[in-house]
């Protein structure tokens, strides 16, 4: 049998295509076609030979079409094609980049999350430079059904080998129950958050959480969860879903699937999604987690995107997904605190601190009373502004008292 993995063609970049036939009876034969063969041909064939030996393959004919693939991609494609031949639990794992061994907090900023197809390494390599808070390596809708198996190896290797420049490392698994199998490939590699698509009940969150805990064993690591509400059943169960696990940190809504489920067209005005979006915001807030809005599908109309983000923020969402890098800067700019919000937050904090020093039990700013929840929100606004570079760390030295 001859099995293949990867992508080929004139438009393919940073990827490769592999064809493997085992049991040839002539030892290991590798046929490499690559424009950079003179420079990297020896290292590519060495990697292939090491992997074949690692998996115990002694007789094979391997054809490799290289389009500038990095080692993590070459290794992922070859492991996928080998495991179509050989049933084994062994994994060929490349070293983890030291800069990828960070964990993220439950309340970390998740303003912008950039979706990347899990079968396209070209888009993964420099994704972290765009300034998004999270990078989502997608195993679900953006991956063709016949490529999902191969994508698991590529996503796993990317988590270990690609520099994400501090962005939260996220993976959207497939809809349960098949998504549980995805977790076997993704956990316990350097992953911060799992997105659970088309989530309808709290039982699905509990299932995913239990599988993650089972794989992690006794490792002292936390993998956050973000259920995605994408149909009417999920909307009506949103509160229970948001509270299903202590590892829930956010809940998102997917409006393309939601509108299809209720039998309407998605419109720019958004009247048909207003109810669902409000439910998700309130359910998330009641559970103490972040409400995340849907993606905006028109990547050309930046003015319409700006309007959508302003509305989203006014409804109580704290962030949204992006499907193109050009959307990231605008989403960050509009969701993060503006000058007026920052100024107000500083005044609240200063007024509260002044009242505390003077021993006053009642704090007011103008005609409005200030209580601890308002102060906490103001401090969070300031923290976001500092993290975004909109406010210096020594902001108290240049106050507006």
pLDDT tens figures, 263-274: 999 988 899 999
What domain range is 383 assigned to? 339-398
Give this prediction's pTM: 0.91
Q: Mapping DSSP to helix (H, G, I), strand (E, B) and coil, where does residue 67 land? A: coil
With 90 as the cut, is the pLDDT of residue 170 above it? yes
Domain shared by 329 and 246, yes or no = yes
Same domain, 210 and 260: yes
State the pLDDT confidence band at 361, using cuts at 50, 70 and 90.
low
Last residue of a domain, one of 315, 335, 355: 335
Distances (CA, A) of 41 to 28, 33, 54, 64, 157: 16, 9, 20, 11, 21
Is residue 220 located within the same domain as residue 316?
yes
pLDDT reported for residue 362 = 65
Q: Of the ranges 198-207, 272-281, 387-396, which one carries the lowest mean pLDDT score?
A: 387-396
pLDDT of 379 strictly over 90:
no
**Strands 60-66 and 16-22, bridge-based pairing:** antiparallel
> Tokens 């609240």, residue?
348
pLDDT for the residue numbered 293: 98
Residue 175 resides in a domain: yes
Mean pLDDT for all residues in the chain: 93
pLDDT attached to residue 387: 80
Q: Has residue 56 been placed in a domain?
A: yes
pLDDT in the model for residue 398: 66
Residue 24 in this model has a pLDDT that exceeds 90:
no
Collapsed DSSP state (helix, strand, coil) of residue 281? helix
User: Do both 162 and 212 map to the same domain?
Assistant: yes
| CB neighbour burial string for 228-261, b if at least 16 within 10 angstroms, e if fewer | bbbbeebbebbbebbbbbebbbbbbbbbebbbeb
Does 15 fall in a domain?
yes
**Averaged pLDDT, 328-341:** 89
Does the pLDDT of residue 357 top 60, yes or no? yes
């Amino acid at each position: 049998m001859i099995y293949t993995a990867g992508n080929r063609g004139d438009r393919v970049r940073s990827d490769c295509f592999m064809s493997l036939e085992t049991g040839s009876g002539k030892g290991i034969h590798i046929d490499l076609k690559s424009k950079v063969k003179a420079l990297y041909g020896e290292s590519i064939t060495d990697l292939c030979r090491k992997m074949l030996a690692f998996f115990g393959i002694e007789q094979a004919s391997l054809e490799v079409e290289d389009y500038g693939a990095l080692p993590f991609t070459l290794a992922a494609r070859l492991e996928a094609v080998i495991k179509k031949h050989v049933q084994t639990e062994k994994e060929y794992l490349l070293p983890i980049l030291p800069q990828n061994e960070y964990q993220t907090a439950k309340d970390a900023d998740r303003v912008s999350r950039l979706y990347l197809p899990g079968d396209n390494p070209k888009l993964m390599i420099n994704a972290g430079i765009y300034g998004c808070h999270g990078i989502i390596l997608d195993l679900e809708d953006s991956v063709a059904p016949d490529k999902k198996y191969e994508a698991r190896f590529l996503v796993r290797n990317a988590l270990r080998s690609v520099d994400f420049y501090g962005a939260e490392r996220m993976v959207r698994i497939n809809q349960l129950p098949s998504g549980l199998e995805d977790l076997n490939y993704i956990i316990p590699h350097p992953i911060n958050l799992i997105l659970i698509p088309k989530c309808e009940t709290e039982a699905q969150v509990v299932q995913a959480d239990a599988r993650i805990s089972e794989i992690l064993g006794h490792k002292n690591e936390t993998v956050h969860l973000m259920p995605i509400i994408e149909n009417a059943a999920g909307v009506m169960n949103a509160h229970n879903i948001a509270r299903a696990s202590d590892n829930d940190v956010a809940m998102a809504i997917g409006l393309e699937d939601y509108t299809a489920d209720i039998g309407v067209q998605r419109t720019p005005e958004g009247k048909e999604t207003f109810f669902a979006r409000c439910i998700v915001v309130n359910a998330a807030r009641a559970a103490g987690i972040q409400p995340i809005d849907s993606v905006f599908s028109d990547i050309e109309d930046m003015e319409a995107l700006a309007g959508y983000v302003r509305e989203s923020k006014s409804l109580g969402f704290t962030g949204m997904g992006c499907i193109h890098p050009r959307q990231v800067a605008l989403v960050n700019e509009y969701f993060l605190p503006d000058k007026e919000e920052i100024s107000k937050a500083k005044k609240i904090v200063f007024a509260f601190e002044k009242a505390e020093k003077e021993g006053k039990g009642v704090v007011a700013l103008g005609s409005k009373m200030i209580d601890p929840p308002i102060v906490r929100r103001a401090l969070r606004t300031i923290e976001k502004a500092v993290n975004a570079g909109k406010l210096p760390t020594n902001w108290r030295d240049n106050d507006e008292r």
